[in-house]
Amino acid sequence: MKFYSTNSPAVHVPFKEAVFNSLPQDKGLYMPVSIPQLNPDFLRNLAKYSLPEIAFEVAKTMLSDAIPEKDLKAIVEDAINFEAPIVKLEEDVYVLELFHGPSLAFKDFGARFMSRVMSYFLRDGEKMLDILVATSGDTGGAVALGFLGVSNTRVTILYPKGKVSPIQEQQLTTNGQNIRAIEIDGTFDDCQALVKQAFVNTELNEKFRLTSANSINIARLIPQAFYYVNAYAQLLREGKSEVVFSVPSGNFGNLGAGLLAWKMGLPVKQFIAATNANDTVPQFLSTGFYKPKPSVATLSNAMDVGNPSNWIRIAHIFQDPEKLKQLISGCSYTDEQTKVAIEAVYKQYNYVVCPHTAIAWQALKDYQKANPDNQAAGVFLSTAHPCKFPEVFSEEIAAKIVVPEQVKELQGKPSLSVALGTDFAGFKKYLLENA
Ligand X SMILES: *Cc1c(COP(=O)(O)O)cnc(C)c1O
Check residue 254 for interaction with ligand X (CB under 6 A): yes
Shortest separation between residue 324's beta carbon and ligand X, angstroms = 16
Check residue 303 for interaction with ligand X (CB under 6 A): yes
Check residue 302 for interaction with ligand X (CB under 6 A): yes
Check residue 258 for interaction with ligand X (CB under 6 A): no
CB closer to ligand X, 46 vs 387: 387
Helix, strand, coil: what percent of the chain each, to 5? 45, 15, 35
Q: Phi and psi of 290, rounded to 5°?
A: -95, 105
Shortest separation between residue 252's beta carbon and ligand X, angstroms = 5
The answer for residues whose C-beta is within 8 angstroms of residue 157's C-beta and 6 or more apart is 133, 134, 135, 140, 143, 144, 172, 179, 180, 181, 182
What letter does residue 99 receive in the DSSP assignment?
Answer: -
Give the type of residue at 187: T
Site stretch for ligand X (CB under 6 A), options 149-157, 186-194, 251-259, 393-401:
251-259
Give the type of residue at 42: F
CB closer to ligand X, 153 vs 382: 382
Pairwise CA distance, residues 220 & 22, whole Å:
10
User: CA torsion angle for 381, 288, 261, 248 (degrees, to 10)?
Assistant: -10
Asked if residues 225 and 264 have their Cβ atoms less than 8 Å apart, the reply is: yes
# chain residues binding ligand X, by CB under 6 A: 15
Site stretch for ligand X (CB under 6 A), options 14-22, 48-56, 81-89, 245-253:
245-253
Q: Which of 5, 67, 80, 107 binds ligand X (CB under 6 A)?
A: 107
Pairwise CA distance, residues 13 & 30, whole Å:
9
Check residue 57 for interaction with ligand X (CB under 6 A): no
Shortest separation between residue 381's beta carbon and ligand X, angstroms = 8
Q: Which of 38, 46, 63, 105 binds ligand X (CB under 6 A)?
A: 105
Site stretch for ligand X (CB under 6 A), options 22-30, 121-129, 148-156, 249-257:
249-257
Task: Identify the three-state secondary structure at position 34.
Answer: coil
Q: Which of 32, 253, 258, 386 binds ligand X (CB under 6 A)?
A: 253
Pairwise CA distance, residues 353 & 341, whole Å:
9
Kindly identify the residues of this chain, within the stretch 119-148, that bind ligand X according to CB under 6 A.
138
Residues that bind ligand X (CB under 6 A): 105, 107, 138, 248-254, 302-303, 356, 383-384
